[in-house]
Structure 1
Amino acid sequence: MTTPLHHLIDLLDLERIEENIFRGDSQASVVPRVFGGQVAAQALVAAGRTVPDDRDAHSLHAYFLRAGDPGAPIVYTVDRIRDGRSFTTRRVVAVQHGQPIFHLSASFQAFEEGLEHQEGMPDAPDPETLPTAAECLPRHAHLFSHPGVAERLLEARAAVDLRYVEEPPYATAAQGPREPRSQVWFRANGKLDGPIDEPLLHVCLATYVSDMTLLDSVLLAHGRGGWAVGDVVGASLDHAMWFHRPFRADEWLLYDQESPSSTNGRGLAQGRIWTADGKLAVSVIQEGVVRVPRG
């Protein structure tokens, strides 16, 4: 396991301070707020640690309420809403400085046999043929709004090997609008292991990554490069995920993303995460603030 991945797992390994209360720290961020994928993954860890061992996460629905302070701990309180024969429901509130910054509802299910179908996986090149972030970001550092952004992005994403199928929005904004669709391959940058039980660890790692690139497709539709180049101000508003089938987040996963709509300062994006052998593992939907800076 690489050191950045080890640090990320330590970050997700929350401290239990009471029966249904947990505390977590934050990592350094490229923007002056807690990364949304981090707080979502930590909240799911908190929920999962109050659930019977025979039940796995199958969905989450979350709202980002306030910008988190990366310099302060986050307290997660878990409400045990329901423990049924097949399903378990938990509600988690993340609190900083006495105020809620994030709200999560998560559902867990005991395995059962049922009807099975899925649509086909979209075409995508072999991830091993694509440039790494360490190869891609420095090439475009001159496009960023401030010096050091490329280095901070590399540091923030070092725990994950994330590879764009096509050039990311920050590299192509000057070319004008493109089809509102983006694809990335990703996997943990090392073998996943540690104090968080499987498969919860893999689900939480995918939750963490799911917030990194999902609004890219909104930017592409308008020829915008995003916050890194300074032509858009954005933040996640709400986030929903459905975990369909087991997967490993330390093996290649294809994140296929598109945007059906943007309006009123908000952009909607939806994504599907596929295993390398073509199984639909996760569906994701997010709406975010996407504003053009004034002046």
Structure 2
Amino acid sequence: MVALVGRPNVGKSTLLNALIGYRLSIVTPRPHTTRHRILGIATRPEGQILYVDTPGLHRGAKHAMNRSLNRAAHQAIAEVDVAVQVVEAGRWGDEDAAVYAALGERAVPRLLAVNKVDDLRDKAQLLPFVAGVVAQHPFDEVYFVSALKRQGLDALEQGILARLPQRAPLYGEEEITDRSERFLAAELVREQLMLRLQDELPYATTVEIEQFQDRADGVAEIHAVIWVEREGQKAIVIGAGGERLKAIGSGARKTMERLFERRVFLRLWVKVREAWTDDEAALRQFGYTD
């Protein structure tokens, strides 16, 4: 098993999707988009790789939600055979150093994936940047990649395969995750919330699937509740005349149909549960568990 770890917004989810060749983890420009450990399965002739996309490790975890995200990331590190720390080309800060320190909890191979190299205008900066990083934070190997443009991934994958223990495959060749369609449906609605809502509101929302069933006509009927923390937030999510909620539902439904490979009938409701992000019982209800 391979953990993809890093501070928020370095491209871990985009990298996971690129490595398995499937759009599994939701991706938005916002930090803290990933809230759960996501297992992605890549089966190759040389072997099967189980990638774990983790929430971004961050400091100042004041709320129960933030502590839950950090716990999920730390637990993923504790279970893996190889750790890949993802950083942004040209950027290494205190949060990156904190992620490196967290990797010290396990004596496993550490690989450094320098992502977004295509965004760095002066490529001559790459080698001095990496030299400065590894001088104080040694890694077994360094790889330069662009997850978005799928560059440098073959070398990274081969480096991972060379360091994994030999075991029998745990999953079939066609399987890409252990997550259910029900879970993925909730994530795809939340992705639209992250993309379409401004400021801090997306972080006050979560999604719970109340019904997921395949009808006799082959359509997947999905009923989902969008939970917010205040009545004012509910009005914002719904929008004038319900237009924003319709747009969220339409965007999520189209993505679900591509992922699930069948038609989807999606119904959304918006409900209020005050301060759910700092309520341990609510977090368990909504699936934020270790």
Q: TM-score range by the shorter chain?
A: under 0.3
Q: Which is richer in helix?
A: 2
* Bigger-Rg structure (1/2): 2
TM-score by length of structure 2 reads 0.23
Q: Which has the higher strand share?
A: 1
